[in-house]
Structure 1
Amino acid sequence: MSALDAYPHRRVLGTRWADNDIYGHVNNVEYYALFDTLINAYLIKEGGLDIHAGDVIGVCAASQCDYHAAIAFPEDVTGGLRVAKLGRSSVTYEIGLATDSGLAATGSFTHVFVDRATRRPAPIEGRLRDALQRLVRD
C-alpha cells in the first residue's frame, strides 16, 4: 500500500539542485512550490484553466504544510492531490508529498477563483468543476 493511495491524482515532481538548503535538505519554502506545481498542472491539463488569457483565475487564500520527513536532491517526489471541499467559487485541496521512503509532507491549499479583471469571486463551472469533482474525497 502506497502512502498516497488516498489521493486520486498523483504526479512525479522531482527535486532540483537549487532546492537544497545549507542543511542538505529541501528548504521548507520549496514544499509550497511543489504544492503549487501539482495543483496548477492539474488545473491546466485536466480542468482547462487558461492561466494566460482566461476570464477566471485562481488565487491562493490559504496554505499550510506539515513536515514528516526530509527530502533532498536528487530524490524524486510524488505529489498526491485530492479535494476536501468544493464550493461555488473556492476549493480546498489536500496534498501529500512522498518519496521512496514514505510520506514526507501533508498540507492544504485553498484557491478562490476570481474574475481576472475585477478580482471578484467567480463560480467554478464546466470542465474545471468536473475536473475538481473527480478529486473530491469520500
Structure 2
Amino acid sequence: MSSAAKPTPHSRSSYRAFRSIPTRWADNDMYGHVNNVVYYSWFDTAVNALLIERGALDIHQGQTIGFVVETQCNYFAPIAFPQTVEAGIRVAQAGRSSVRYEIALFAQGSDSAAAQGHFVHVYVDRATQRPVPLPEALQRVVDSLKA
C-alpha cells in the first residue's frame, strides 16, 4: 500500500481552460449516476477539443498524433444526467514528445471537483508511430496551459 496522501478535490482556480460537456441519458448506470468509464471519455473530449480548436491538432491530416500511455482518475462526488460537466484542463509536465494533461470535472457551478485525473500523451509521427518533438503550435498551447 502506498504512503501517498489521500487525494483531495481541486478547486476551479487550479485550472487554465474549461469546456462544458452535457451529460446524456445513456451516461447514467443502473445506480443512477454517470458510470466511471464515461469520465475518461470526458477527459479525452476536453483535451482533444481544446487542441483542435486552438489549431494544435489536426486529427484527419496532421502528421503528429497523440497516443495515451497513462491515465488515472480519482472520484469524489457523483455526477448524473441531466447535469452539465465543466472540465478544467491544465498541463502539469511537458517533455520533448510527451505531455501530462490534468483534468478536473466539476458539476456546473461547483467550485470543488467531482473527479480529477490525468492523461499522459506521447506525440508520434502518424506514419512511423515513433515519438517526435512537440510541433510548434502544440507547444504554444501546452505552454498556455502550464500550471
- Identify which of 1, 14, 26 aligns with 1:6: 14
C-alpha separation in 1, matches of 2:40 and 2:48: 12
User: Does residue 56 of structure 2 align to residue 48 of structure 1?
Assistant: yes
The residue type paired with residue 114 of structure 1 is V
How big is the shift at 1:84?
0.3
Structure 2 counterparts to residues 93-132 of structure 1, below 5 A = 93-99=101-107, 100-101=109-110, 102-132=112-142
The DSSP-based 3-state class of the residue aligned with 1:59 is strand
Structure 2 counterparts to residues 80-99 of structure 1, below 5 A = 80-99=88-107
Q: Which moved more, 1:27-36 or 1:43-52?
A: 43-52
The residue type paired with residue 133 of structure 1 is D
The residue type paired with residue 117 of structure 1 is A
Per-residue Cα deviation, 1:33-71 (whole angstroms, up to 9, x for no partner): 000000000111114311011111001000000000000
Counterpart contact for 1:47–1:132, Cα < 8 Å: no
Structure 2 residue runs without a partner (length 5+): 1-9
Counterpart contact for 1:94–1:108, Cα < 8 Å: yes
Per-residue Cα deviation, 1:87-112 (whole angstroms, up to 9, x for no partner): 11000011110013432001011000
CA-based RMSD of the aligned residues comes to 1.2
The residue type paired with residue 71 of structure 2 is S
* Cross-structure match for 2:5: none
User: Does residue 65 of structure 2 align to residue 57 of structure 1?
Assistant: yes
Counterpart contact for 1:47–1:129, Cα < 8 Å: no
The number of equivalent residue pairs is 136
The residue type paired with residue 10 of structure 1 is F
Structure 1 residue runs without a partner (length 5+): none
TM normalised by structure 2 equals 0.89
The DSSP-based 3-state class of the residue aligned with 2:69 is strand
* Cross-structure match for 1:78: 86
Aligned-pair identity in percent equals 53
* Cross-structure match for 1:28: 36
The DSSP-based 3-state class of the residue aligned with 1:134 is helix
User: Does residue 107 of structure 2 align to residue 66 of structure 1?
Assistant: no
Shift of the 34–75 alpha-carbon distance from structure 1 to 2, 3 Å rule, reads same
